[in-house]
Chains A and B, each alone.
Chain A
């Protein structure tokens, strides 16, 4: 039982993204940014993005964190690029439902690659790791430059 849940959490794609995160950089010419912090573990992460009108033209992240937070951040940058603010927000809602309530609660197809985060729902202590990047992106989109916290 336990090792099955571990395999669901640390799926190949998650491990691969945590080891080689995509868009692990500061976006050149970024016009929005925010910092995120999980005070429980000291993880810190920053998101920079370039917003053209309502569309996220480019997005990157930097910082340190566990495999779950890095993979979630990496997958997020791929998923929201060239999406509108509203689409990115809607995606966050779906990801949040996925990691808190599990795969039965959402349309997995609509989530694409992000569906690999479904294993997090079996690990309540790790939900904050998976959602840190998303909270930080939301703060950047809302133009809140202050640090966001998972607490």
Chain B
């Protein structure tokens, strides 16, 4: 962990330095949304104080600056994902909109009656519902790669589920409910062997380890800014250029056209064809600042910190009597889902909250995987680069308190 000083990192995140309920805040809910470093907050303020104007159309100096900032952010994201070309980066409101964009453009064009869309049992609702809606509209079938009791995909079944009717495979890189890291490169290889394109939901992965979309080989990759220490309301869809070029537009409006008459509309080039209306410019600027912040820390150093803390936390939680980890995949990142005896996760969450510890409880917008484990809910602690062993120790003390209250 050379060069990664978590105490110095923590100083960059102003929100962490406060007391809640009379105790120091322990934030273990970064899988829901991550906190923002001062560099991101400053970048957004600076944009509104100095550079704000609409992009791509003004002749004036502010519009030039804003365009430079916005298109510069696209370059930053391109490098971050190791994409070939910045035209492969589309700004969206978040992962959810990115997946909907693919379902509504690629999906509506290529999925027909009797076709199949393949997802997995561990998807977030954002990677289920857009496909369910598409399948209902088109008379297609949604098929599902099952998970085993560790919370890993049953890879033996994948080949049989990739059929000649499969039009797309949509899979999460890291499960938000279990923490499982899926072998997306291998899955992509299997799908591509049958000519089937692949979308990867990267909402939970980009925060924890470097992602190389060319190495994975996937056709689409989606993530959200707010989980990557950037602002809410901004996200990214990466799409391979040859996949994006033939697609119809997503939403109609300004900026996504080249010319409009009442008789004929000529659509703009990729990526602008998919960015109708004025975009979240300050959001893109904030996201670029977050990525630059991470890169200055070193993506590998961050990954090493997260890996080491995850190992420490797993061991620490296993020491709590009556605690059962839900999701024990061999490769996990960032997420620890658990139950404590038969104490309902809401009660666990309430008692921890009174200790100043923020966790998530509930079904984590992933009800199908909860059903697999026959649980209505779990408690979930999630880790980020600013978390420490002390945070984990506080969680363990809090869990002992939970057991005390419930005697």
Decide if A15 touches B354 in the complex (CB within 8 Å).
Answer: no
For residue A129, CB closer than 8 A to chain B, the reply is yes
Residues of A within 8 A of B377 (CB): 41-43
Chain A contacts of B172 at CB under 8 A? Answer: none
B41 neighbours in A (Cβ, 8 Å) = none
Q: Which residues of A contact B351 (CB under 8 A)?
A: 6, 10
Closest Cβ–Cβ distance, residue A95 to chain B (whole Å): 19
B35 is an interface residue with CB less than 8 A from chain A: no
Listed by A's residue number, 8 A-B pairs whose Cβ atoms lie within 8 Å are A1-B22, A2-B355, A10-B351, A10-B405, A41-B376, A42-B362, A44-B376, A129-B346
Q: Which residue of B lies closest to A9 (CB)?
A: B350
CB distance from A9 to the nearest CB of B (A): 7
Task: Check if A125 is an interface residue, CB within 8 A of chain B.
Answer: yes
Which chain B residues numbered 350 to 407 have a C-beta less than 8 Å away from chain A? 350-351, 354-355, 361-363, 367, 370, 376-377, 405-407
Shortest Cβ-Cβ A-B pairs, 5 listed: A66-B344, A66-B346, A2-B354, A42-B376, A42-B363
- List which A69-85 residues lie within 8 A (CB) of chain B: none
Residue pairs across A and B with CB atoms within 8 Å: the count is: 56
- Determine the distance from Cα of A126 to Cα of B376 in the docked complex, in whole angstroms: 17
Shortest Cβ gap from B349 to chain A (Å): 8
How many of chain B's residues have a CB under 8 angstroms from any CB in A? 22
Given A2-B354, A64-B376, A68-B347, the answer on whether A41 and B363 have CB atoms closer than 8 Å is yes
**The residue from A5, A41, A67 contacting B362, defined by CB atoms under 8 A apart:** A41
**B324-351 to A contact mask, C-beta < 8 Å, 1/0:** 0000000000000000000111110011
Extra A-B contacts (20), CB below 8 Å, given A15-B406, A43-B376: A1-B21, A2-B22, A3-B354, A5-B354, A6-B350, A10-B405, A15-B405, A41-B361, A42-B362, A42-B363, A42-B367, A43-B346, A44-B376, A64-B376, A67-B344, A67-B347, A67-B406, A68-B346, A68-B347, A126-B346
Across the interface, do B406 and A41 meet the contact criterion of CB distance under 8 Å? no
Contact residues in A for B354 (Cβ distance below 8 Å)? 2-3, 5-6
**Of all chain A residues, which has the CB nearest B362?**
A41
B243 within 8 A of partner (CB): no
User: Taking A2-B22, A2-B23, A41-B377 as contacts, is the C-beta distance between A66 and B362 under 8 angstroms?
Assistant: no
Question: Min CB distance, A123 to chain B, in Å?
Answer: 6
* A contact residues, total (Cβ < 8 Å): 22
Q: Given contacts A5-B354, A10-B406, A67-B347, is CB(A42)–CB(B370) below 8 Å? A: yes
The complex places the Cα of A9 from the Cα of B350 at a distance, in Å, of 10
Q: B residues within 8 A CB of A9? A: 350
How far is it, in angstroms, between the C-alpha of A2 and the C-alpha of B405 when the chains are bound?
Answer: 13
B405 surroundings in chain A (CB, below 8 A): 6, 10, 15
Among the interface residues B346, B355, B370, B406, which one has the most CB atoms of the partner chain A within 10 A?
B346
Verify B347–A66 contact, CB threshold 8 A. Answer: yes
Give chain B residues whose Cβ lies under 8 Å from the Cβ of A42. Answer: 362-363, 367, 370, 376-377
21-41 of chain B: CB within 8 A of chain A = 21-23
Residues from chain B with Cβ under 8 Å of A129 in the complex: 346
Give a binary string over A115-151; 1 marks a CB under 8 Å from any B CB, 0 the rest: 0000000010110010000000000000000000000
Min CB gap A131→B, angstroms: 14
A21 within 8 A of B: no
Cross-chain contact A123 with B346 (CB below 8 angstroms): no
Q: Does A40 contact B (CB under 8 A)?
A: yes
- Chain A residue at minimum C-beta to C-beta distance from B351: A6
Q: Is the CB of A123 within 8 A of B350?
A: yes
- Whole-angstrom CA separation of A40 from B367 in the bound complex: 11
Q: Which residues in A have their C-beta under 8 angstroms from that of B376?
A: 41-44, 64
Are A65 and B344 in contact (CB-based, < 8 A)?
yes
* Known A42-B370, A64-B376; contact A2-B346, beta-carbon cutoff 8 A: no
A40's closest neighbor in chain B, by CB? B362
A126 adjacent to B350 (CB under 8 Å): yes
How many Å lie between the Cα of A67 and that of B345 in the bound state?
A: 10
Minimum distance in angstroms from B127 CB to a CB of chain A: 19
